[in-house]
A and B are shown apart, each in its own frame.
Chain A
Amino acid sequence: MAEAIYDALGAALTRWTMGGAAAPVAPPGWAAHLGNEAGEAELRLLALSGQFLGVLVTPAPPEGLKPLPDVPVLVMPALPEAQRPLARRMLRTIRDAGARRDLLRFLAGRGWTLHPGDWMPAASEDDIPDVYAPWRDWAEGSAVARPAAGEGLTAENWDDYWPAARGVALTALRRRDPAAATALLAAKLAGEGAEVRLRLVRLLATRLSDADRSFLESLATDRAPKVKALAAALLARLGYGSAVGEEAAELAGFFELQTRG
């Protein structure tokens, strides 16, 4: 019976949508209760329809509902429950990203992280402590399983890493073995998007040396202007590049050598 009423309501809703009277097409069994006065009948039908739809009808979900992965537990513990209200008040008063970054660094420096119920980073927030990298990856919606603990970043497991975790691993590799990091970038950089390439090339600023020259010069043909510009800037730091001599001469022109005394 509920299905018959639901099907009949379709015609009533269509009539109302068109601005017409729906009482003549009321569901079976309701017509006798609507009365003879047209306006009153419409109101009664509206009340009965609302009650029926509210009590007996719930929206049906589409096929293929998927739960997201669990928010990962970070290597540092979240603030104790007693400190969370203070952290929430501070987060509400913070207006710019720099102040929030300072708060995150202050906490991370003392071995704590914010509780995920109070704050979580966006996937694009790369200027926050590395401890939050798993949450950035979760926000990006990646569902790729992480490599086993202790397994270093290599060309073979490059795609197994979440993007933010990969950046953290590459940063650590660059500090430990700069040549290996450069070789890894040379092998995998071409397969990444422009923004990712820019972030990864920026990592070469750490322990930059002449050994990176050939790779940086190869980036002169990169598709992204920002990547090319960053590579040129890093080469200039090493003293290479077509404009190095010209810029040095121009800067020297701003200064005047004099003797004193």
Chain B
Amino acid sequence: MPLRALLINRSGAEAPAPDWPAPEAALADTLSAPLLAEPWTIDVPVLLPGGRVAVDGTGRAWWRAAEGDMVLPVAGEAEGLIRGTDLTRTAAIWSGGRLEILAAQTPWGRIAAHG
């Protein structure tokens, strides 16, 4: 009969969380290349460079790159800490019209956009 192991105690210092990798290509190419290769693609996973969420006059959220002028509309409200801190790296899904933020590396540590 197979036995099940239970974690009873854990000791020792936790290893520091590794830094997120830098995006390998320019953001414009990252968004368009999958669609050029497979035109039926709906959702494109992306790793964004440093940026921050900004809001327009209607309160709608946009992700804006720290360098360059790339701006992408964010899906939903993007409430909470995601709006009030620098996003060193952001993992998101680009659906062609909206950016769904999944998680981000920030000065507060790693945060998830949906709790």
- Enumerate chain A interface residues (CB-CB to B < 8 A): 47, 50-51, 53-56, 58-62, 64-71, 78, 81-82, 88, 92, 115-118, 120, 138
Contacts and interface: CB of A to CB of B under 8 A. Distances in A.
Given A56-B32, A117-B108, A66 B55 contact: yes
Nearest to A65: B54
Contact of A61 (B31, B62, B85, B111): B62
B10 to A, nearest CB: 9
B24 to A, nearest CB: 19
A120 to B, nearest CB: 5
Interface of B: 14, 17, 31-32, 35-36, 39, 52-58, 62, 64, 71-73, 80-81, 83-85, 96-97, 106, 108-112, 115
Given A81-B14, A117-B81, A65 B32 contact: no
A55 B115 contact: no
Nearest to B81: A116
B19 to A, nearest CB: 15
Nearest to B51: A67
A69 B86 CA distance: 10
Contacts of A58: 31, 72
Contacts of B32: 54-56
15 contacts: A51-B39, A54-B39, A55-B35, A58-B72, A59-B72, A60-B71, A65-B56, A66-B56, A68-B84, A69-B84, A70-B84, A71-B81, A88-B115, A116-B80, A117-B80
Contacts of B36: 55
A83 to B, nearest CB: 12
A88 to B, nearest CB: 7
B85 A71 contact: yes
Given A61-B71, A116-B81, A117-B112, A68 B35 contact: no
Contacts of A55: 32, 35-36
Contacts of B64: 61, 65, 67
A191 B37 CA distance: 62
A86 B53 CA distance: 28
Given A65-B62, A115-B108, A115-B109, 9 more contacts: A50-B39, A61-B73, A65-B71, A67-B54, A70-B85, A81-B17, A116-B108, A117-B109, A120-B80
